[in-house]
Every structure is written in structure tokens, then in C-alpha cells.
Amino acid sequence: MSRIGVFICHCGVNISSVVDVEKLAEELAHEDGVAFSTEYKYMCSDPGQRIIKDAMEEHDLDGVVVASCSPRLHERTFQLCVEGAGLNRYKMEMANIREQCSWVHKDKEFATEKARDLIKMAVAKVRKNQPFDQLSIPVFKKALVIGGGIAGMQASIDIANAGHKVTLVERTPTIGGRMAQLDKTFPTLDCSA
Ligand code: SF4
């Protein structure tokens, strides 16, 4: 059985003026696999992250859901937060209840219902998430372009002009693709070859 913690952010009044965060924190505590649920004014702040770390230790959490803003803004913040408390960063999921909910709805009841669904989906996802290790793989600055039609030829030239070695592969005996099969091109009637 998972032991997931749910942390719901008010974002000042950005979320809490439209979504009933206290009610959700109370309800989510009874969700399958959820061992702890709470809400806080600013979850990304130092005290907010402290709440997450303390709860992880106290409740032995093996997954974390942060219901707040877009992951574009704070996914890394919360990944580093849980990692600092010994949990793999991919065992943390964010539910975007600000940009995708409180900022686009006015009806509190509806917005709260939608936020509940978004959080429950994140809980379901984190339940199935596997821990991953990050790998560093050396990258060679070489490109392989498959297909010697116009797009492939142009891409090869662009990459070569950017200073990288390119290998262009074409399965037929000639390059030029469909273009090379045409006689003239509209509107200038230039010879396509
Ligand atoms: S975590 Fe996101 S939603 Fe919460 S206070 Fe910080 S910026 Fe606002």
C-alpha cells in the first residue's frame, strides 16, 4: 500500500479564493494510498518545503503530490525538496490547480470539484511512478539525416553550415526526392532539377 502525502497550496489567495483548499485537504486524507494531507499558504517557500520534508519523515511517505501552480514554475523546486528528504524526484507529481483551475474558473464549487479530480489523478499517477536515476551520456556532434529529398538535403546543409558533420542517407540511387521527378515548378517555371 502506498504512503502518499498530498500538499495543497493556497498561493496566497490565487488558489484559495476560488478553490476550497481546506475541504480538499480534509477529503484527500481519506483517498486510497494517501497517508497524509495538508494545505499551506505558500508551499514553495522555505517553511512550505519544511512542511513537506517533516511530513515525509514523520509519516514515512513514499510518494508526494503537490497541488499548486504549473510544473513549469516549480517542478524542480519540489523535486529537489523531496530529493533532499531522501525520495527519488520522480516519486513527486504536481497537480496544477492554479493555471488550470483557479485562474480559469469563477464558480467555487465547480473549481473545487475540478481541483479534487486533478489531485486524485496525480495521486493515481504517483502511485504507479517508478524511481529513475539520471544518466549522463556523452553526445557526439554529428547528425544522421535519413531521406535525400528536399527537406533532407536542406536539413543536411543547415546542420553542416552550423559546423557539424552530417551523413545523409538515401535509399534510391539519386537524391532530390519527388522534386527531382518534376519537370518545372510553379510559379517561376524553373527547371526543378
Ligand atoms: S508553489 Fe506555486 S502556487 Fe504555491 S505559492 Fe508557490 S508559486 Fe504559488
Judge if 109 and 22 occupy the same domain: yes
Q: Is any ligand 1 atom within 6 A of the Cβ of residue 103?
A: no
Degrees to nearest 5, angle at CA 101 with 52 and 107: 120
Judge if 94 and 156 occupy the same domain: no
Judge if 121 and 44 occupy the same domain: yes
pLDDT band at residue 109, thresholds of 50, 70 and 90? very high
Distance 17 CA to ligand 1 centre (A): 14
Q: Is any ligand 1 atom within 6 A of the Cβ of residue 52?
A: no
Distance 177 CA to ligand 1 centre (A): 52
Can you tell me which atom of ligand 1 is nearest the CA of 12?
5
> Residue 151 and residue 155: Cα distance in Å, rounded?
6
> 53, 33, 57: which is closest to 43 by C-alpha?
53
Q: Please report, for the chain, how many H helices and E strands are present, in that order.
A: 5, 8
Can you tell me which atom of ligand 1 is nearest the CA of 78?
1
* Residue at which a domain ends, from 103, 128, 153: 128
Q: What pTM value is reported for the model?
A: 0.77
Domain that holds residue 162: 142-191
* Residue at which a domain ends, from 128, 151, 181: 128
pLDDT digits (tens, 9 = 90+) for 34-68: 999 999 999 999 999 999 999 999 999 999 999 99
Judge if 120 and 173 occupy the same domain: no
Q: Looking at the domain assignment, is residue 117 inside a domain?
A: yes
Degrees to nearest 5, angle at CA 115 with 113 and 121: 105
- The pLDDT assigned to 118 comes to 98
Report the CATH number that the domain containing residue 88 is assigned in CATH.
3.40.50
Judge if 170 and 83 occupy the same domain: no
Number of structural domains (the chain) is 2
Average pLDDT over residues 87-92: 98
pLDDT digits (tens, 9 = 90+) for 138-160: 989 999 999 999 999 999 999 99
> Residue 43 and residue 109: Cα distance in Å, rounded?
23
